[in-house]
Amino acid sequence: MPELRKDPFVPNRWVVFSPERKQRPVEYTVVTQNNHREIFDAFSWGKEKLTPHEVFAFRPKDSPSDSPGWLVRVVPNKYPALRIEGDLQAEGIGMFDRMNGIGAHEVIIENPDPTVELADQTVEGISLVLKAYRERILDLQQDIRFRYILIFKNKGRMAGATIIHPHSQLIALPIVPREVKEKIEQAKRHFEMKERSLFADVLHEELSAGKRIVLENSFFAAFCPWASRFPFESWIMPKFSSLDFSSLDDNQIMLLSDILQNLLKRLKKGLENPDYNLVLQTAPLRSSRREYMTAVEVDYRWHIEILPRISFLAGFELGSEFFINPVYPEEAADFLRQIRKI
């Protein structure tokens, strides 16, 4: 059974112990470098029986669950870091704190073709992936044991991917992640000092300065943030007040798909198909929101972070929680802006 343990020294940091992932076979594989498809890919059409039963899919009307023909398919992770069954139990062990590992761990299969990366999809294709994110958040947030839903994507080995078939992951957690909690606390302090939203202020600053902006449309801006941890780190943030990713309507999702596709294509072309992590940091779920914020006091805003993984995190980063980055975001944004014929 997985377990969550709280770090006694670093506030708000928890570790998920999931012993069942230890002997995980790399059973789903393998498109080799030259696009030759090998036999075993559990995420393509006709292999639906090799995964747990789907919890959501965009598929032709009247086609049965777990049959081919789908465009996006969401299944529970076969080797979940957290378990969906059971009641949440928190307890102290001596001076330490633990919680049983209740949560959800799902895989969003982005399309049936293992060779089509997210950056290669049409805007409509990407919008289906984002809509699948939205649907899963809307469904899982009804479970009052969960306080947060993190959606992320590992593309390439340097980014931690073990399966090549393009997919995203979702983890529902009984605790709000450290980074999200600290961003909310920072936004609160900002509001106390200035009576303004931190997220709105930063975005306004970025849009005025302009030099870290990669592209924008009516609803969204993509920029390389002021204190980018990674070379070519790029965020997408809504220009309007929006706590919750799941509150986006279909029109907003279309414009988000458009800017995300454009940004991913620029990264792919400019950096020669880099490994990257994509992270969606939405607000904590309603069940726990009262303890972190009220809509009036702090305008947290969901955002997507794309973190190219070109170099390794080393002792400096792990020992300080600072980062060394050889590329200024102004330079990165300028480079990404100037890419033509994406």
Give the contacts of 280 (CB within 8 A, at least 6 positions apart): 133, 150, 151, 152, 245, 302, 303, 304
Stretch that binds a copy of itself, among 65-73, 122-130, 202-210, 264-272 (CB under 8 A): 202-210
- What does the alpha-carbon distance between residue 241 and residue 243 come to, in Å, rounded to a whole number? 7
Length of the chain: 342
Catalytic annotation, pick one of 36, 53, 105, 167: 167
- How far apart CA 189 and CA 185 sit, in angstroms, is 6
Q: How far is the CB of 1 from a copy of itself (least distance, A)?
A: 11
- CA–CA dist 14, 36 (Å, integer): 41
Nearest approach in angstroms of CB 198 to a copy of itself is: 7
Site for a copy of itself in 213-242 (CB under 8 A): 226-229
CB of 68 to a copy of itself, least distance (A): 28
Residue 262 one-letter amino acid: N
- Interface with a copy of itself in residues 73-132 (CB under 8 A): 81, 94-96
Among 11, 52, 86, 210, binds a copy of itself (CB under 8 A): 11
Told to judge if 167 belongs to the known catalytic residues of this protein, a careful annotator would answer yes
Binding status of residue 210 toward a copy of itself by CB under 8 A? no
Beta bridge partners of 90: 99
**Burial of 93 per CB tally in 10 Å (0-12, 13-18, 19+):** exposed
CB-based contacts of 277, cutoff 8 Å, min separation 6: 152, 153, 154, 155, 159, 160, 305, 306, 307, 309
30, 31, 123, 159: which one binds a copy of itself (CB under 8 A): 159
Give CA–CA dist 119/262, Å, rounded.
8
Q: Which is nearer to a copy of itself, 14 or 292 (CB)?
A: 14
Chain residues 132-151 in contact with a copy of itself, contact rule CB under 8 A: 150
Fill in the amino acid letter for 45.
Answer: W
Q: Of 102, 119, 283, 307, which one interacts with a copy of itself (CB under 8 A)?
A: 307
Cβ neighbours of 210 (radius 10 Å): 11
Cβ proximity to a copy of itself, 296 vs 318, nearer residue: 318
Task: Single out the residue of 29, 247, 287, 325 in contact with a copy of itself (rule: CB under 8 A).
Answer: 325
- Listed ranges 139-147, 166-174, 250-258, 261-269: which one lies at the site for a copy of itself (CB under 8 A): 166-174
CB nearer a copy of itself, residue 261 or residue 281: 281
311 contacts a copy of itself (rule: CB under 8 A): yes
Q: Per CB under 8 A, which of residues 277..296 are in contact with a copy of itself?
A: 277-281
Compute the least distance from the CB of residue 212 to a copy of itself, in Å: 10
DSSP bridge pairs for 238: 220
Report the catalytic residues.
167
